[in-house]
Homo-oligomer: A and B are copies of this chain.
Amino acid sequence: MKVAVLRIGHRLVRDDRTTTHVALVARAFGSQKLYMTDVDDSIMRTIDVVCKRWGGGAPEFEIEIIDQWKNLISNWKKDHGKVVHLTMYGVNIDNSIHELRKETKLLVVVGAEKVPREVYDLADYNIAIGNQPHSEIAALAILLDRIFKGRQFRKHFASAALRIIPTAKGKRVEEISKS
**Which residues of A approach B to under 8 Å, CB–CB?**
14-15, 17-18, 21, 24-25, 27-29, 50, 54, 56, 88-94, 117, 120-121, 125-126, 128-135, 137-138, 140-142, 145, 150, 152-153, 157, 163-164, 166-173
Question: Is A92 in contact with B166, judged by CB distance below 8 angstroms?
Answer: yes
Told that A18-B18, A141-B142 touch, could you supply 10 new A-B pairs with CB distance under 8 A?
Answer: A21-B135, A27-B134, A28-B132, A28-B138, A54-B133, A90-B168, A94-B150, A126-B167, A132-B157, A135-B137
Check B167–A91 contact: CB distance below 8 A. yes
Contacts of A89 in B (CB 8 A): 164, 166-167, 170-173
| Cβ contacts under 8 Å, A157 to chain B | 132
| Min C-beta distance of A47 to chain B, whole Å | 10
| Contact A130-B142, Cβ < 8 Å, known A89-B166, A91-B168 | no
**In the bound complex, CA of A125 to CA of B169 (Å):** 8
In whole angstroms, how far apart are the Cα atoms of A145 and B29 in the complex? 15
Chain B residue with the shortest CB-CB distance to A160? B132
The smallest C-beta distance from A171 to any residue of chain B, in angstroms, reads 4
Known contacts: A15-B17, A18-B17, A141-B142. The answer to whether A93 contacts B153 by CB under 8 A is yes
CB distance from A158 to the nearest CB of B (A): 13
| Known contacts A29-B134, A89-B170, A167-B90, A129 near B142 by CB under 8 Å | no
Q: What are 26 A-B interface contacts by the 8 Å CB criterion? A: A17-B18, A18-B18, A21-B21, A21-B138, A24-B134, A24-B135, A27-B134, A28-B134, A29-B134, A29-B138, A56-B132, A88-B164, A89-B166, A91-B166, A91-B167, A94-B153, A120-B169, A125-B168, A126-B168, A126-B169, A129-B153, A131-B164, A138-B140, A141-B142, A142-B142, A142-B145
